[in-house]
C-alpha cells in the first residue's frame, strides 16, 4: 500500500489505461512509499460534469488532496473552480498545465504540469532512430513545402489562418489540414493525414509529413489571453515540433514564446520577427504573424533550406530540452510528496 488513491470522473481509478497524459508520472507516484494518505483527483476541464468538489467536501479534512488538471481551463471555469477551491478546508495542492503569468491568486501552492509532453517524448524516444534518419536524409533533399499547419478542430484563430492562406494564394506553400477531425460532415475540410477510422493519433509523429516542410505554423488550443489575466497553455502540437526538429511560428496566446524561453527552450528571433509574442491585441498579433508568413513564403526552397540549416543548433537544443523539461517538471511534482 502506498496510500495514494487516484480519482477520475470522481471514481477510484483502477489503472491508467484511459489516461492520455502524465501517465508515467502517475506510475512514479504510485511507487512512492507515503506515510500518510493522499487523494489525487484527475480533472478534465472540458468535461462539464467533471467536478470533484462535492466529494472532496465530504472527505476527512486532514487528508492531503491534489487537484490535478489534465487540460487547459478556460478563464470562466478557472474562476468557478477558484471559488470552490477557496471554500475547501483541506490540505490542498493544485497541479495545472496553464501558466498564469500574474500568479494564481489561490491560498494553496500551485505547480505546473505539462499536457502530453511526456507522450511526445515517449514517441520521440521510440522513433529516435527514424528521426535521426530523417535528419540525415534532409541533408540530401529539399523539402517540398514552406509550412506545415495542423488544424483538426475548428477554432476562430484557425479559421483566420486558413482564410489568410487562401486569400493570399499561399495554399501551395503549405501542408495544411483544417476541420480534419470531422469526417463526412457538411462543410469544408482539408485532410492531411488523419484517418477517419484510426484511433487517437495526436501523440504519434508522422515523420514523412513533418519532414516535407521547413517551418511549423502551430495553432494552439487557444489564442485567448488578456493583459489582466495573461495565461499560456502549451500542448502536444508544439512538443511535436520540438521532437521533429522544426522551427515554428505560434498562433496562440501572447507571451507563449516568453514562457517557452523560461522553460529552457530557444526560439528563432535571429531569423523570424517574433515581436508578435509581446502583442496582446489579437488582431495586431495575427497581422504580425501574417507578415512573417508572407515574407518567408517569398523565399525560394533553396533559401528555406539554408534558413532551416542555420537554425540547426537551436533545433537540436529544443529536441533534447523536451526531455529535460519533463524531468524537471516531474521532479518538482514528486517533491510535493516529500513535504
Interface contacts to other proteins, rule CB under 8 A: 127, 129-130, 133-134, 137, 139-144, 175, 183, 191-198, 201, 204-209, 211-212, 301, 305
Q: Which is nearer to other proteins, 62 or 198 (CB)?
A: 198
Rounded alpha-carbon distances, angstroms, from residue 303 to 65, 171, 267, 274: 54, 19, 19, 19
Query: Rounded to the nearest whole angstrom, what is the least distance from the CB of residue 287 to other proteins in the complex?
Result: 29
Closest distance of CB 336 from other proteins, Å = 35
Smaller CB distance to other proteins: residue 234 or 243?
243
Q: Which three cell numbers stand for residue 107?
A: 491560498
The half-sphere exposure of 92 on its side-chain side, counting CA atoms within 13 A, is 23
- Would you give the DSSP letter of residue 154? -
Q: Rounded CA gap, 301 and 143, in Å? A: 7
Closer by beta carbon to other proteins, 125 or else 201 = 201
In degrees, rounded to 5, the angle at the alpha carbon of residue 207 between the alpha carbons of residues 204 and 209 is 105
Question: How would you label 260-282 residue by residue, b for 16+ Cβ within 10 Å and e otherwise?
Answer: beebebbbbeebbebebbebeeb
* CA 10/CA 30 separation, integer angstroms: 18
Burial class of residue 29, CB neighbours in 10 A (0-12, 13-18, 19+): buried
How far CA 280 is from CA of 76, 163, 258, 268, 333, in Å, comes to 19, 21, 13, 20, 31
Nearer to other proteins, 79 or 133 (CB): 133
Backbone angles phi, psi at 219, to 5 degrees: -95, 110
**238: its cell numbers:** 508544439
Q: How many CB atoms lie within 10 A of CB 46?
A: 13
Q: How many CB atoms lie within 10 A of CB 326?
A: 21
Kindly state the smallest distance separating residue 26's Cβ from other proteins, in Å.
24
Is the Cβ of residue 33 or residue 129 nearer to other proteins in the bound state? Answer: 129
CB of 185 to other proteins, least distance (A): 14
CB of 323 to other proteins, least distance (A): 21
Query: With respect to other proteins, which residue has the nearer C-beta, 196 or 291?
Result: 196
Shortest gap between Cβ of 219 and other proteins (angstroms)? Answer: 18
The residue (of 100 and 146) whose beta carbon lies closer to other proteins is 146
Nearest residue (CB) to other proteins, 53 versus 210? 210
Q: How far is the CB of 175 from other proteins (least distance, A)?
A: 7
Question: What secondary structure, in 3-state letters, does 198-218 show?
Answer: CCCCCCCCCHHHHCCEEEEEE
Q: How far is the CB of 306 from other proteins (least distance, A)?
A: 11
User: Which of these, 122, 59, 226, 81, lies nearest to 96 by C-alpha position?
Assistant: 81
Q: Which is nearer to other proteins, 176 or 314 (CB)?
A: 176
- Smallest separation, CB 52 to other proteins (Å): 34
Amino acid at each position: 500500500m502506498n496510500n495514494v488513491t487516484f480519482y477520475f470522473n470522481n471514481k477510484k481509478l483502477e489503472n491508467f489505461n484511459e489516461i492520455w497524459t502524465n501517465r508515467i508520472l502517475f506510475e512514479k507516484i504510485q511507487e512512492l512509499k507515503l506515510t500518510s494518505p493522499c487523494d489525487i483527483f484527475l480533472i478534465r476541464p472540458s468535461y462539464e460534469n467533471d467536478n470533484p468538489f462535492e466529494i472532496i467536501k465530504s472527505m476527512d479534512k486532514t487528508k492531503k488532496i491534489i487537484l490535478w488538471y489534465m487540460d487547459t481551463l478556460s478563464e470562466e471555469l478557472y474562476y468557478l473552480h477558484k471559488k470552490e477551491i477557496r471554500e475547501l478546508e483541506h490540505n490542498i495542492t493544485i497541479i495545472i498545465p496553464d501558466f498564469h503569468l500574474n500568479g494564481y491568486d489561490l491560498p494553496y501552492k500551485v505547480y505546473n504540469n505539462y499536457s502530453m509532453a511526456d507522450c511526445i517524448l515517449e514517441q520521440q524516444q521510440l522513433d529516435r532512430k527514424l528521426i535521426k534518419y530523417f535528419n540525415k536524409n534532409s541533408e540530401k533533399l529539399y523539402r517540398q513545402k514552406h509550412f506545415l499547419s495542423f488544424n483538426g478542430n475548428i477554432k476562430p484563430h484557425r479559421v483566420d489562418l486558413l482564410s489568410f492562406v487562401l486569400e493570399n494564394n499561399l495554399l501551395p506553400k503549405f501542408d495544411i489540414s483544417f476541420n480534419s477531425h470531422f469526417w463526412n460532415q457538411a462543410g469544408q475540410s482539408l485532410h492531411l493525414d488523419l484517418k477517419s477510422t484510426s484511433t487517437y493519433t495526436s501523440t504519434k509523429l508522422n515523420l514523412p509529413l513533418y519532414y516535407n516542410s521547413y517551418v511549423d505554423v502551430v495553432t494552439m488550443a487557444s489564442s485567448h489571453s488578456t493583459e489582466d489575466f495573461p495565461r499560456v497553455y502549451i500542448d502536444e502540437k508544439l512538443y511535436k515540433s520540438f521532437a521533429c526538429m522544426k522551427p515554428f511560428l505560434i498562433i496562440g496566446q501572447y507571451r507563449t514564446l516568453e514562457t517557452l524561453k523560461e522553460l529552457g527552450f530557444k526560439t528563432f528571433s535571429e531569423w523570424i520577427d517574433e515581436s508578435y509574442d509581446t502583442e496582446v491585441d489579437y488582431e495586431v498579433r495575427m497581422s504580425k504573424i501574417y507578415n512573417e508568413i508572407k515574407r518567408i513564403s517569398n523565399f525560394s526552397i533553396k533559401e528555406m533550406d539554408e534558413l532551416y540549416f542555420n537554425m540547426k543548433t537551436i533545433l537540436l537544443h529544443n529536441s533534447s530540452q523536451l526531455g529535460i523539461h519533463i524531468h524537471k517538471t516531474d521532479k518538482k511534482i514528486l517533491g510535493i510528496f516529500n513535504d
